[in-house]
Amino acid sequence: MTERLIDRFDGVLADLDGVVYAGPRAIDGATAALDKLAGEGKSLAYVTNNASRSSAQVAAHLRELGAPASAAQVFGSALAGAELLAGQVDPGSSVLVVGSETLADVVREQGLVVVPSADERPNAVIQGFSPSLGWKDLAEAAYAVTAGAVWVATNTDMSIPQERGIAPGNGTLVAAVAAATGKSPLVAGKPEAALFETAARHSGVTRALVVGDRLDTDILGGNRAGMATALVLTGVDTVRTALVARVDERPDYLIGSLAELYECYPSVTADGGTFTCGAADARVSGSTVTISGREDSLDSWRAACAAWWDANPAPAQDSTPEIVFETAG
């Protein structure tokens, strides 16, 4: 028996780039699918590792693209980081903020006191991305961390896409402080669980579906938070990368687009070593996955993933299978 995927959940936690938009444009059908959630009685929240833009700024951008969005629906790693930090120190503690003014504002909202330098002997350091950060800012962070301050990073994205190409992200700046101090921060953003837990808690969602296009951030983070995860194939990762995903990056669902939230999701059944999804079958022999079905059908890949994952349940799985499609008789 099949049911619509959305019927299994009371809310969606959606990534942005690769899910809602690609570059400057909304992905075909994405905004309409998101707009439909309210009428279905489902909650919608957006989760992003961006800690330099406020929730209001992100929401305004989403509305420009035609997506339903308010500031209260946008959860960035700044809020998750500030909440994570607040749980590590006493109320009123002093914090050195290495990042944007948006991050500093969110820290203040947690009842913490922002100080300008390591000379103030802060109780904690929170580090987030800002294009204006320089060596002196990283040095202040290193001084405070070395002196024993609690250290939280909003996210550890190693790169960020810019108009001129790929540029260093917060992770590269965090790595510089880590190299200087020999210490590692607590991390709030993807792929850690804190960001997803923050979004679900503030949204009142108890049965959340995390929808993302990246296995190593969205799916891994949702899995770590104990939530159901759906890989949507409008962004970075593909059915082939899903097939060979590490155990903790394997999604619960594969969907072609957000519109498929409202379609019946087929079950996968196993009979001996054969896994069946819709009209497609898949089986594993050694390092070969043999699929009976159309290569352009998601059911073929759903069956293939189920078969390969069943045959390779170990946490460390680096082998890449040969994929063979049988010609239908």
Q: Which residues are identified as catalytic? A: 15, 17
What is the rounded CA–CA span in Å between residue 149 and residue 160?
28
Structural contact between residues 319 and 312, judged by C-beta atoms closer than 8 angstroms: yes
Structural contact between residues 157 and 169, judged by C-beta atoms closer than 8 angstroms: yes
Place of tokens 């059944």: 269
Place of tokens 């962070």: 141
